Every structure is written in structure tokens, then in C-alpha cells.
Structure 1
Amino acid sequence: MRTLPWTIQHNLKWRKAGLLGLAALQKTLAAAVSWQVAFLLAGTEAAALAAVSAVIVLQVTGWQTIQKSIERVLGVIIGISISIGIVHYLGLQVWTIFCVVFAASIIGICIQKQGAYMATQIPISALLGLVVGVGEESYPLLRLLGALIGGVIGIAFSILLSPPTYAHKAQKTLANLLQEVAQTLPTLADTVAGSVASSRQLAIYEHMHAVERKVRASERDLALGRENLRFNPWGRSLQGIVEGQPHMLEMLEKLTRQMERIAWTVSETGNSWEEMCTFYAWAKRYAELLRIMGEMLDFVGKRVQQVSLTTSGMNYKLEIHDENRVLAQLEQAQKRLTEEEAALLKDREETSVKQQAKPESTHPSYRVVVRSSLLLDLGRMLDDLEEMITTVRRWQAGGVSGQFLS
């Protein structure tokens, strides 16, 4: 993966430190403002409860803060209602406490899928309303008021003081994945060309499988990035890009799956693969196609990285492949793939009428099957790459910055 210049790395470190400070400032301001508002409305006790609620509901994104605020308020309402209802009719006894906590726990378990935090708040609020509310009848109302004030103010500060940090991180994650997969393609090309010993073919397949798993695992980061932009007024320039990330990741996942299939085909062929590479030049031509695809994928990764840096406010121009050159490579690869498919069809027809007189042990029909499988995977990879190049060009032209246009 390409190392960023020192100035960019230095700026990123300062930016990370600034974000940590901003997160602390969020909680501080939310707690202070919540305390002041609740104090003016209902006094010191409500102020303390509101400040606590504001700190609790604040999450890494505005959308998560909204969800937790709603769950906290609903949990308090349900819990307080249970305690007030039971105490009103049955009074405060040991078995009353048992009934309150049991009922609140059952309700919490039943609605846990709708909100895990709400499920934990119900028995807590019920018990506090039952025990504390005996000495101070206004406590249930104050707890609810504190949850409402703290939740609303926490949401306000979470939205207003939440830069699109995770959206930028998702873009960086995608760029790193693209370039990492691009770097594995030359290794796969060497395997297809017969330059890798048969004893290492299984290890190459396992590596490709690990790369595919890593691509699938990155979905969480991209989902958090999309969530970071919900109700976020500072991330509008990234909206179109982040919405296109799932499609880009889907294409990358399909690409790595085809790479894994190619590695598996070579590994399963075993010693026969070295024999085929020795007698036939088509394996080296397939390997060259993989190397060209690696260059195209590297282009996509660097363009995504460029978009990520620029939308972060860093004016840095990456030295990347010329776009026209990559488009020419794509056209050339498609043409060569068509030629290889025609050559395979011709070889298949010849194989059906006679056996070739070459000194080899591999059966001709088996060789045709292997070639067909590889060409099918190469064709799918090329289709995925074409879609990825189209997507990143659309990002360039779609409004992040005019400087991306070639």
C-alpha cells in the first residue's frame, strides 16, 4: 500500500487528536446545558438526572444518539408506570418489590429485540421509581423529565458537533481494501503462470480466502460510515459517495471470490497444472490478464484514496495512472478475453474429434474444462472491474471536486 507523505500523516494525527477533544467537549457541553435547563425548570434533582442522561445517551454518531435517547425515555416511562401502578394498588412490601422487578424484567426480555438498552432501563427505572419514589413522590416525574431534557440536548450536541469522521474512515477502509486486493493479484498471476511450486498452491488459495473474509468483514465500517451521515449537516459532500460504497464493496467481494476460485482451480489441479503450463502458452496469457486487472484495481484504489483525502480537507494530488490509459487497458483486456474464448472454442472442437499427440498425461477434455473455468472467472472479474471503474469515475464527476476530472 502506498505510504502517504509526512505532511499528510502529520495532519491526520492532529486531526485524530482534535476529534478526541471534540468528543470530550460534546459530553461536557451536553451535560452542562442539560443541567442548567433542567435546573431552571424543576430544580437541582432534575438537573442532576438530566446531566446524567445527556452523558449516557451520547454515542459516536447522531443517529445512534437518537436511538439511545428514544430507548432511554421509553424504558423510563414503562418502568416508572409499572412501579407506580403496583405500589398504588398493593403498597410497598418485599413481595411488591419482587413483583415489580419480575414484571419489568419479563417485559424487558420480550422487547429486547426492539431495543437492548430500553430492555435494561425498564427494570432499573421500575426499581428506582419504587424505592426512591417512596421518600419523594416527585422522583418518577423528575426522572422522566431528566431523561427527556438530557436526551434532547444530547441529540442536539451529537448532531451539531459530529463531523463525518466515520464516513471518512469508511472511505479510507475501502481504499485500503482495494489496494490490498490489487497487491494480491500479481501473486495470483504468478500462480496461474506456473511460477509457484505446487507445494505452495494451497497456501495461495488460503491467502485468497483470507482476503475475501477481510473484505466481507469491512461491511461494519462502511455501515457505520453511512450511519454517521444520517442527520449530519457537515457530511453532505460525502452523501453520494457513501451511498455508493455498498455497491463498490459488493463488486470487490465478488472480485475476491473469483480470485479465490481461480486459486482453488490451480490448487486442485496440482502437478497437472505445472504440466499444462509447460506445454501451453495460454496459462501465461491468463496470468498477464490478471496483472493488467491488478493495475486497474490499483487505479481504482488510489482514486478512492484521493477522494477520501480531498473530502477531509487535504489538498493533495496523488500521482496515479492516467484515466485514459486505464480505460485503454480495460478495452484491451476485454478484447484479449474475447480472443481467448474463441481459442478455447476452437480447441474444444478439435479435442472432440481427435486426441492431441503431445507427450503429456493430462487428458485433453480435462484441460478444456480447466480453461473454461478460468476464463469464466476472468470474465466475471473483468465485468466487476468495469463497474468499479465506472463507479469511481462517477464519484469524480459527481460533485466532490472538479479537480478529479481528467
Structure 2
Amino acid sequence: MLTRIDLRGSSRDPRGLLPRAQLDVTAAAEAIRPIVESVHARGFAAIRAATERFDGVRLERLRVPRAAIAAAAEALDLQVRAALEESIRRARKVHADQRRADVTTQVVPGGTVTERWVPVSRVGLYVPGGLAMYPSTVVMNAVPAQIAGVAALVVASPPQKETGLPDSRVLAACALLGVDEVYSVGGAQAIAMLGYGSEGADAGDGCVPVDMITGPGNIWVTAAKRLLRGRVGIDAEAGPTEIAVLADDTADPVHVAADLISQAEHDPLAASVLVTPSVRLADAVDEALARLVPATKHSERVAQALSGPQSGVVLVDDLEQGLRVVDAYAAEHLEIQTEGAREVALRVRNAGAVFVGPYSPVSLGDYCAGSNHVLPTGGCARHSSGLSVQTFLRGIHLVEYDEAALRDVAHHVVTLATVEDLPAHGDAVRARVGG
């Protein structure tokens, strides 16, 4: 089922040789540009038209009534409620340690620079609702935003045909987190609504524009975020989910196969990659997949993802080459299932999140590890981080110099202004201290 890429004996840069989902976000952005522009120009009417076209739902209102959010929490299965509450508790514990403190540095006597960390004022959280429903995404987006001190959180999620409202479990998660501004809008029209704002059915139904949009989605959501970037901040352009497993002969092939399947069930474009120096393990994983895939609920979707060009087994000479390969791949999720797994994991440079040893599967991080599951995809872990409290904070410098401190450095400012042929910069200093 998994294709094999043999890099044994190769000294080439592996980046162009590794499996990866291919998405043309630029083409998608042009395709949905008319929808985004229509929402900007026509607001509610355009949102309603797009929702009826793509979701098969005729919206009467944009905003979900608070009573419906509360009712979803009341009706929530007790086991699901307990699991969500535990997920929230653990996420809050981890993310609370990420909050930065303001720092004042005395550069010289009479001259200081203070870095203040100020939260974004209003954030739109997108929660997808395509092949699966994701109440856990509400947790992963809302918890760090709340700890950062974001004053207003807005959730947008596609309406279900049966109710005209977002999935009840998504609404219940909002209730548990105290988020009561929720909109029954999905897709590119939701991103446009969050970015541009929109009037609604009446004065109490509209959406005020946000300052930032976070949360995963399909290629159309990603494309809309690209079009809105600059008008609003975005967390990332998320692609299909990925797992890479770096494993040796000590790994349990059933564990590896189960974890590859777990990510493949998200999407036919999901990527599942095994990197190993062990042909014996690769063969055993193939055998396990042959047994497990037909038995899993979403077997057709899983089989399509595992057999696609974005998935495969990469054979390497040893763990040293394996580390180079996984760093080049820069997976959203990277599992280390090797002897001395922690020592190997500490050498990884590029990954959204690293899961260490046989009892730290990606599924744990998706829900209840306390870590965040909104992570960089498509190799972006080489330069970007996952969602965190820092995502929702901006560093603002306060520069405070007294006259003596400015006078002491004035000649350097004037010199640099002269070198750059910006004499008025120097004059602004001379106006205060002479010279």
C-alpha cells in the first residue's frame, strides 16, 4: 500500500525526493476571489447565497442564538463532556506557562526600552466541518487566545443541513469555553465575513470585523485566508495533515501502522510517512496495514491517503540519515519510535510537534496531551511554529530617553542619518539637543 523511496547510499538533498501533497493555493485563491469580493461588497446576501450553494443551507440568520449554544452543552453526552473538560484543563495548564512578561531594559542611564506584550483585540476562530467535526479545534484555538488576553473571540463553523447550525459538539465546546459569539458560516465566505464584517438579518445579527483569523480548513479556506492576509493577521496557510514516523527495529509495527492510519483518516490528501533504516520493520508495517486498513471505519479514505503520492516509506542507511530526512521533511507531526527515543527527539530541528516513544501517539496530542494540535504543514515547520499564546500577542516597544541620554547618543544618530542621506532625521535630534 505504501510506496517506497530508497535513499540508502544517497548524499543528495532529500527535500525534492520526499512524498508531499501538492496543492495549488494560488489557483484556488483566484477561483474563490469572486466569493470573497462579493461578501465584501454585499455582506449577508452574498454569505447566504454562498452557503446555500456550497452547504445546501438557506441561512435566516448569521449568528447562533446563545440559547442554542447553551442547549448544546446541556445535551452533550457526559463522557464527551468529561473528555472535553479534561482537554481544556490540560491545554490551559500547558499554555499558561507560555504567557510572556513585559521586560524593561535600561540601555543607558536615563534611557530605557520596554517590551510590552499586548493581545490582539478581536480574533476569529475557524472550525471546519467537512469530513469530520472538530470540537477539539475549538479548544486548541480558544485556550491560547484566552490566556493571551484576547478580549473578543468569534467562532465560525459551517451549518449542518439538519439544523442550520454548526455541529452540536462544536457548539458545546464553545459553551464550555465561554465563547458565545458563534456564526453558522463556513468556507471562504466565513473567512471573508470575519475579515470584512457583515450586516446580518437585523441589528443584533451582524459580524464586526476581526483583527486576526486562526484555525485549519480545506484548500478554499486556506485560499481565502491568503486573500485576506494583510487586512487581518492569519496563523498559517494550513495544508492537509501529515505524520512522519522515524522508527527502527525496536518499534512495534502495529503501533506504527495504527498511527499512520490515524492521520490518513482525516482526508484522502493526508500524508503518512515512515522513515526507517529497517526493511524488516517496513515489511511488518505493510503487513499490519493490510490487516488494519480494511477493518477501520473510514477504510476507503484511509486507503486513498496511504496509497497517494503524499505517503510512503523512506528507507535510510541509519538513524543519522533518518534525522536528516525528517528535518528536511519538517512534518506537522513527527513520532520518534526508536531506541533512546528522547535523545533522538532532542536532535530534531524541524517539526510542528514531536511525539517521543511508544506511548506518545499523535492522537494524544490531538486531544489531551496539553500541547496544541494546530501545527505548521507542508514543510513550514522549518520556519514556523504551531499555535500558541504567542500567536495572539504583539510585542510593542516603549522607548523612553531623557534629555541627557539623547544628548549622549545624538552624534551617532546624526552620523547614521547622514550616511543614509536622511538629514531630516538628524535635524529632529538637533532640534532637541542642538549641535
TM-score (norm 2): 0.20
Structure number with higher relative contact order (C-alpha < 8 Å, ≥ 6 residues apart): 2
| Larger gyration radius, structure 1 or structure 2 | 1
Bigger proportion of residues as strand: 2
Bigger proportion of residues as helix: 1
TM-score (norm 1): 0.21
